[in-house]
Amino acid sequence: SSKVTTRTLSRMKQKGEPIAMLTAYDYPSAKLAEAAGVDVILVGDSLGMVVLGYDSTVPVTLDDMTHHTKAVVRGAERAMVVADLPFLTAHLGKEEVLRAAGRLMQEGGAQGVKMEGGEAIVDAVRACTAAGIPVMGHLGLTPQSVHQLGGYRIQGKDAEMARRILREARMLEEAGIFALVLECVPEELAREITGAVSVPTIGIGAGRHCDGQVLVYHDVLQMASDIRPSFVKTYAEVGKQIVDALRRYVEDVRERRFPEEEHVFHSPEVQAALYGG
Ligand code: KIV
Ligand code: NA
């Protein structure tokens, strides 16, 4: 089937067809997401936490994002690939944002970029959309602001904050975003925003009424961390399977059970020369 585009996603919202988005960070994870029929692959800056071992997304650089985006793009076919703009980039002025977003698309090969934030980044969003760069918004819990928010916690629980998020969703829509991630907000607010904006909403910890859902690859597969947020549904315990397999390998080496005859190369000529046939 043909490549997913911003138009595909818009049509899916109109028809009420849920959008399945998943993060991926390298060639193999992109290939597996593609094989599973994922519509949008997000090269999230969550890569800082799940593949680079940082304790937040703040240290992730544009070089990191570009490097991983290139690998993901090589593994994606039908899925649209969207890459996160790193910490602070959207606040550095129009030229800096365009340069960074341009690099993720031109060198990285992404079909769009995602930017965290509301009112403060509307001008940056507009600069990108005016330049032909598809922008995905991200409101609610914005992990790049974790140090300001004081932890990874639900946003928009009080009416005032909820109204602000709704207002910012409309501002981003007006600035030309093609989709909007809503992270860790009450289901009631996500439902309201989904009805209020024409672009698809994609939820993570945002309840059942968004136009799509997104989860982090390593969370879905339970591949790394012991921390499991309540909004994550785990579909496999791959991390455990990996450790079991690797442990058996280590034991086989120690017990000289590996390699076996089937894993070995022979040369009759070498055997003859060394041992006289
Ligand atoms: O970086 C990421 O994985 C994200 C999603 C959780 C939306 O931004
Ligand atoms: Na992110």
The pLDDT score that the predictor gives to residue 277 is 58
Tokens of 131: 């330049």
Residues known to be catalytic? 183
Could you give all domains of the chain from N- to C-terminal order, each with its CATH number?
Answer: 6-236 (3.20.20.60), 241-275 (no CATH)
CA of 66 to the centre of ligand 1 (A): 16
8 vs 200: CA distance, rounded Å: 11
| Residue 29 vs residues 15, 53, 144, 166, 170: alpha-carbon distances, Å | 29, 17, 23, 34, 34
Task: Please tell me whether 84 is known to bind a ligand.
Answer: yes
CA of 42 to the centre of ligand 1 (A): 7
The pLDDT of residue 227: 73
> How far is 51 from 104, CA to CA, in rounded Å?
19
Can you read off the two tokens belonging to residue 133? 């760069």
Closest Cα to atom 1, ligand 1: which residue? Answer: 44
Tokens of 218: 């390593």
The one-digit pLDDT tens for each residue of the chain (277 residues) are 899 999 999 999 999 999 999 999 999 999 999 999 999 999 999 999 999 999 999 999 999 999 999 999 999 999 999 999 999 999 999 999 999 999 999 999 999 999 999 999 999 999 999 999 999 999 999 999 999 999 999 999 999 999 999 999 999 999 999 999 999 999 999 999 999 999 999 999 999 999 999 999 999 999 976 778 899 999 999 999 999 999 999 999 999 999 999 999 999 999 999 998 5
Q: 40: helix, coil or strand?
A: strand
Beta carbons of 165 and 156 less than 8 angstroms apart: yes
Q: Counting atoms of ligand 1 from 1, which one is nearest the CA of 114? A: 8
- Enter the pTM of the model: 0.96
- DSSP bridge partners of 19: 212
Residues 213, 171: contact at Cβ < 8 Å?
no
CA triplet 46, 152, 44: central angle to 5 degrees? 15
Q: Atom of ligand 1 at shortest distance to CA of 45?
A: 1
- The distance from CA 160 to its chain's CA centroid, rounded to whole angstroms, is 29
Smallest-distance ligand from the CA of 23: 1
In whole angstroms, what is the distance from residue 119 CA to residue 69 CA?
A: 27
Tell me, what's the pLDDT at 1?
80
Name residues contacting ligand 1 (CB within 6 A): 23, 42, 44-46, 84, 181, 183, 204, 214, 216
